[in-house]
Structure 1
Amino acid sequence: MRSTNLANIYRLGVKELWSLWRDPMMLVLIVYVFTASVYTAATSMPETLHNAPIAIVDEDVSALSQRITSAFYPPQFTLPAMINYRDVDPGMDAGQYTFALVIPPNFQRDVLAGRSPAVQLNVDATRMSQAFTGSSYVQQIFVGEVNEFVKRYRGTEALPVELALRARFNPSLDRAWFGSVVEIINNITLLSIILTGAALIREREHGTIEHLLVMPVTPTQIMLSKVWSMALIVLVAAFLSLNLMVRGALGVPIDGSLALFFTGAALSLFATTSMGIFLATLARNMPQFGMLLMLAIIPLQMLSGGTTPRESMPEIVQNIMLIAPTTHFVELGQAILYRGAGLEVVWQQFLALALIGTVLFFLSLARFRKTIGQMA
């Protein structure tokens, strides 16, 4: 009897794989989210300062002003455009520059004399991400160049304490390392919900669910077949993406155990595929499923700690999101792939995913039985 149940689950799962193979739109979606989407997330993160256009008005034309000008270079900034003061406002109105630095006359003389000359930095704040990040960049570069220049002419007393900054796990602070891995973690959740929910709705729309109801299979077998088949597709796609896109195309080093990570991913998929079936039982068609998906996936991705640290969220939100599988999946994924953590570090997240997945599976199974009971 047990072997018959397993055989039914296997054959039904194979049927799901063939149905997916004959759905070109779903295949395109799978390829896109694990290739172009990962590459875009890694190379075009909003907070990254990349080729920000800057103009400089040098009214001093001194060694110090030229030193400051030469400090702005790609890839953070474009080569500075040297303009006159009267061209600042027209240039920023036309969107040609995000930053316009105005160095006043006699700037070097006043600095060496110990005075505090005023320097103007104009920022186009409509370019929010560049303006916020770039303003601090410009200030740091400017102050650093002035301090280095002044030390050559009049000595300054060294500070009694020196801060030695060492960045662990990402020494070059390359944002592509963060963006690519987080995108894969997010896409595992997104795609698992879409595939399982779409599989159930596709059967309902094509009328094949009625055929299953007259076969010697149970709702549990039908649901398990959808869970294992769709989870397998997501795991294979994520594995290829992690090795070909993240490690290969983007050159991001992964030091953690991939076997341990994908074991955690499988536990997370057990929960999220069950969630996809639950949403599909609530929706009558694909448009309704898409609306429900948006309501579910946005908080799952935005509040799970992948995009924003959970510590910066209100405490009530942190506590509520502990019941979400994505919170624990993000924690174990970052710990394993970023920091090379072992099972002794992430066992609590594994246990939480197993418990959450079990609860979601039986809730979805109860809803699924009720739905097909109404159809019978």
Structure 2
Amino acid sequence: MTRFLRNSLTLARKEWISLLRDVFMLGFVVYSFTFSVYSQATGISHELHNAAIAIVDEDRSTLSQRLASSFHGPEFQTPAMIGHAEVDPAMDSARYTFVLDIPPNFQADVLAGRSPAIQLLIDATAMMQAGIGAGTIQGIVDDEVGRFVRREAEGTAAPVSLQVRVAYNEALDTKWFTGTMSVVSNVTMLAVLLAGAALIREREHGTLEHLLVMPVRPAEIMAAKVLANGAVILVLTLVALYAVLRGLLSVPLAGSVPLFLAGTALYLFFATALGIFLGTVARSMPQLGLLFILIVLPMNMLSGGFTPLESEPDWLQTAMQLSPSTHFVAFAQAILFRGAGFDVVWPRFAATAGIGALFFAWSLARFRRHLASFR
């Protein structure tokens, strides 16, 4: 065991020196955990913000004026009051994302209980704002009409009062979620790429044959690559959490960062082994890139990081339980968002470690056969 650790650490040092000399790869890895995280968190917003809206007011009543004054920032721009003839040209030229058409006699029909219809035209080329905005506008209209009717009929209370309490992200700030999950996603992608590229780089440079004549075993070579590349990802994850998320984005990390890093280390045991496995299959970096697209990207997308796992078909949810990436995302969200402790996440830790150990053994067997082909 002492010899195993000594040889593995020595080979890991060689891996770190090799990475430091590869300026492009080093820059790419650092970029992925700094500027890339910041740009993903701030570049795409899932909230309705500054949406252009116009109103066709055919009623000219107190209620229609109240509706028009209900749309304001930061969700909406100041509504433009337009006529019917301007609607089609304005929508065709993308001047407005939403056009609300209030029909004649709207207030009178509401007070008479006749349930009049308001037409909402949406430019769905702005897909994200279109989907969110439709629900927001529906809520604003329902709220204003409800308050107007209750004021006209004094003493009549609403039959149901819905009290909403938002947990874990009270401000509904997109960058809290997007920034954190981009770090989690990059852990998987960079761990696989670094480990796979390290093996292919050695084969292309001819240094893999040099290792075969040294008194080291395949397990020591693979352990060194797992240790070296996993340590790099772990350090950069820590930088991303404190410098980017907490420092630049002011994202509160609810749980224990050391606990999250411990779970990440368990997961990197699997992710780097996957990278080495793909490195034994691919014969060049372009082939590694193609395998990455076929295997790692779907695994990342289906792990529940950006869309809920529950939205997938039942059979796919069951299949994804065999992927450590699913358990990694689950305990990362539990720790960083909800402040969960080890007593909550230990089943996910155990699943990640167990599946990772099995895959490491499989990758090691493949790696041994790969080295044997050079002899």
TM bucket, shorter chain: over 0.9
Inter-CA distance 144–132: structure 2 relative to 1 (3 Å threshold): same
Query: Aligned partners of 1:329, 1:105: CA distance in 2, in Å?
Result: 56
SS of 2:55 mapped into structure 1: strand
**Deviation per residue, 1:297-326 (Å, 9 max, x gap):** 222112212122222222211221111110
Mapping for residues 1-376 of structure 1, pairs under 5 Å: 2-45=1-44, 47-155=46-154, 157-376=156-375
For 1:22 and 1:370, the matched residues in 2 are separated by 29
Among all aligned residue pairs of Structure 1 and Structure 2, give the percentage whose two residues are the same amino acid: 52
CA distance in 1, matches of 2:276, 2:6: 21
User: RMSD in angstroms over aligned alpha carbons?
Assistant: 1.8
Larger mean Cα displacement after TM superposition, 151-160 or 50-59: 151-160
Three-state SS of the structure 2 residue aligned to 1:323 is coil
Question: Which has the higher mean CA deviation after the structures are superposed, 111-120 or 216-225?
Answer: 111-120
Amino acid across the alignment from 1:315: D
Instruction: Mark the CA change 1:325 to 1:256 in structure 2 (over 3 Å): closer, same or farther.
Output: same
Q: What is the CA distance between 1:88 and its match in structure 2? A: 1.1
Output one character per residue of 1:224-261: Cα deviation in whole Å (capped at 9) or x when no partner.
11111111111111111111211122222112011111
TM-score by length of 2: 0.94
Contact 1:301 1:307 in 2 (8 A): no
Instruction: For residue 5 of structure 2, give the secondary structure of its aligned residue in structure 1.
Output: helix
Task: Point out where structure 1 has 5 or more consecutive residues left out of the alignment.
Answer: none
- Say if 1:133 and 1:200 are closer, same or farther in 2 by CA, change over 3 A: same
Output one character per residue of 1:237-287: Cα deviation in whole Å (capped at 9) or x when no partner: 111111121112222211201111100000000000000000011000001
Residues in 2 aligned to 1:228 and 1:375: alpha-carbon distance in whole angstroms = 24
Higher alpha-carbon deviation: 66-75 or 314-323: 66-75
Unaligned residue ranges in structure 2 (runs of 5+): none
Q: Which moved more, 1:55-64 or 1:355-364?
A: 55-64
Change (3 A) 1:100 1:156: farther
Once the two structures are TM-superposed, the CA of residue 38 in structure 1 deviates from its matched residue by: 2.0
Number of matched residues? 375
Q: Is the 8 A contact 1:335 1:346 kept in 2?
A: yes
- Partner of 1:121, secondary structure, is strand
Structure 1 residues 354 and 43, CA gap change in structure 2 (3 angstroms): same
- Distance change in 2, residues 1:81/1:20 (3 Å): farther
The 3 A distance-change label for structure 1 pair 144 and 156 is: farther
Task: State the 1:223 CA deviation.
Answer: 0.8
1:331, CA displacement in angstroms? Answer: 1.1
TM superposition score normalised by structure 1: 0.94
